[in-house]
Amino acid sequence: MPEIPIIQIENLNKTFGEGEGAVTALDNINLTVYQGEIFGIIGLSGAGKSTLVRCMNLLERPTAGKVLFDGRDITQLSDNELRKVRRDISMIFQSFNLLMQRTALENVCFPLELSGVPAKEARTRARELLATVGLSDKEKAYPSQLSGGQKQRVAIARALATNPKVILCDEATSALDPTTTQSILALLKELNQKLGVTIIIITHEMKVIEQICNRVAIIDNSRIEEIGPVDEVFRHPKSRAAKKLIFPKNELTEEISGNGKFLRLVFDGSQADRPIIANMVLQCGAPVSIAFANTEKIDGKMYGHMIIQLPANPEAERKILAYLDSENIGYEEEEYNA
């Protein structure tokens, strides 16, 4: 199927403040999100990712650049035109942003009321959406009576009320425990597949990206450092920012020291059940230090990567590289400063 752009960001900049006190939050951002995909934007705290997603629906006005939605530059729209466009771009927040004095049903009805939908029709639609997110029995419950996961499900139902083309998720799972996070991500993926709604996920967690996203943009220091399919970025990260997110220092299993080179090995599902490292050590007669190892499931396939430190002996290094080549194991040299 052809890739049809739904959101296009062109040469976007966002600066807060003026003069010497000005802070650049986004610097020359360019990216395209296609209809029906789940697109991730990941970065460490302060990288600019939340500002970027808020520029997509103009909750934050860019200082310069264009934001195109369905081919229209929404930065040029009147307030009335922008309000209509925002019905097609819903948002889910980390803190849920539910109205505490309204029941779950009434929270889902709220955007329909603002759109002028008759009350009876709005309640019917809201009940359908609560059923979609698995909360038919909670329509009379107030937010204070719901768990974090249930609150986020109500927020998702509310986001779907106006039949949006895009849902923006700003750290939508970071306030939830791991089990609840899994269920919310599974729900979002199901909605994407059933309804065809485009989902854009902002997060600082690589595990969220790996579980649900088709493509990912890495943002660091207010700039996009890398964009690509999730499995490609996982297997062959090009930027330092991507490498920091995929294997952060605090997850190293062994302290890095000595003079040997470091290699990053990449495994796919066809190699996961083979004792690659054990056989390498036996055949080459040289030990290696494993500094990091991890496996992830991306789009239903298992991938793994490992950082090993080679022995300083050139002959042992040659044998190890020859062994990896013979086993078709992808590798690349890494620079890593502890």
Whether 172 contacts 191, CB under 8 Å: no
- The strand ranges marked E within the chain are 5-16, 23-34, 38-42, 64-69, 72-73, 89-93, 166-170, 198-203, 215-220, 223-229, 262-268, 289-298, 301-309, 330-334
User: CB count, 10 Å around CB of 180?
Assistant: 17
The reply to whether 129 and 197 lie within a common domain is yes
- First-last CA distance in the chain: 45
Q: What is the average per-residue pLDDT within 211-229?
A: 92
Q: What is the average per-residue pLDDT within 208-213?
A: 90
Q: pLDDT band for position 272 (50/70/90)?
A: low
The reply to whether 170 and 86 lie within a common domain is yes
Q: pLDDT band for position 273 (50/70/90)?
A: low
The domain total for the chain is 2
Q: What is the average per-residue pLDDT within 159-164?
A: 93
Q: Which domain holds residue 209?
A: 5-240
Q: Which structure tokens are listed for 146?
A: 């719901």
pLDDT of res. 120: 92
The one-character DSSP state at 102 is S
Average of per-residue pLDDT values in the chain: 86
Whether 74 contacts 62, CB under 8 Å: no
The reply to whether 167 and 276 lie within a common domain is no
pLDDT of res. 1: 55
The reply to whether 230 and 266 lie within a common domain is no
Residue scoring higher pLDDT (214 or 327): 214
Cα gap 10→29, rounded to integer Å: 6
Domain harbouring 66, CATH code: 3.40.50.300
pLDDT of res. 93: 87
Q: What does DSSP say about strands 301-309 and 289-298: parallel, antiparallel, or unpaired?
A: antiparallel
The reply to whether 58 and 148 lie within a common domain is yes
Which of 80-94, 123-137, 217-231, 298-312 has the lowest average pLDDT?
298-312
Q: What is the average per-residue pLDDT within 310-318?
A: 81
Amino acid identity at 297: K
The reply to whether 218 and 286 lie within a common domain is no
Q: What is the average per-residue pLDDT within 264-278?
A: 70
Cα gap 184→173, rounded to integer Å: 7
Q: pLDDT band for position 270 (50/70/90)?
A: low
Q: What is the average per-residue pLDDT within 233-256?
A: 69
Placement of tokens 């989902």 in the chain? 199
pLDDT per residue over 50-104, tens digit each?
A: 999 999 999 999 999 999 999 999 999 999 999 889 889 999 988 889 999 999 9
The one-character DSSP state at 203 is E
- The answer to pTM > 0.85 is no
Q: Is there a domain that residue 72 lies in?
A: yes
Backbone angles phi, psi at 169, to 5 degrees: -115, 105
Query: Is 259 a residue whose pLDDT tops 50?
Result: yes
Q: pLDDT band for position 253 (50/70/90)?
A: very low
Amino acid identity at 211: Q
Query: Is 296 a residue whose pLDDT tops 50?
Result: yes
pLDDT per residue over 319-331, tens digit each?
A: 888 888 887 777 7
Domain harbouring 287, CATH code: 3.30.70.260
pLDDT of res. 328: 77
Q: pLDDT band for position 166 (50/70/90)?
A: very high
Burial of 27 (0-12, 13-18, 19+ CB in 10 A): middle
Whether 199 contacts 40, CB under 8 Å: no
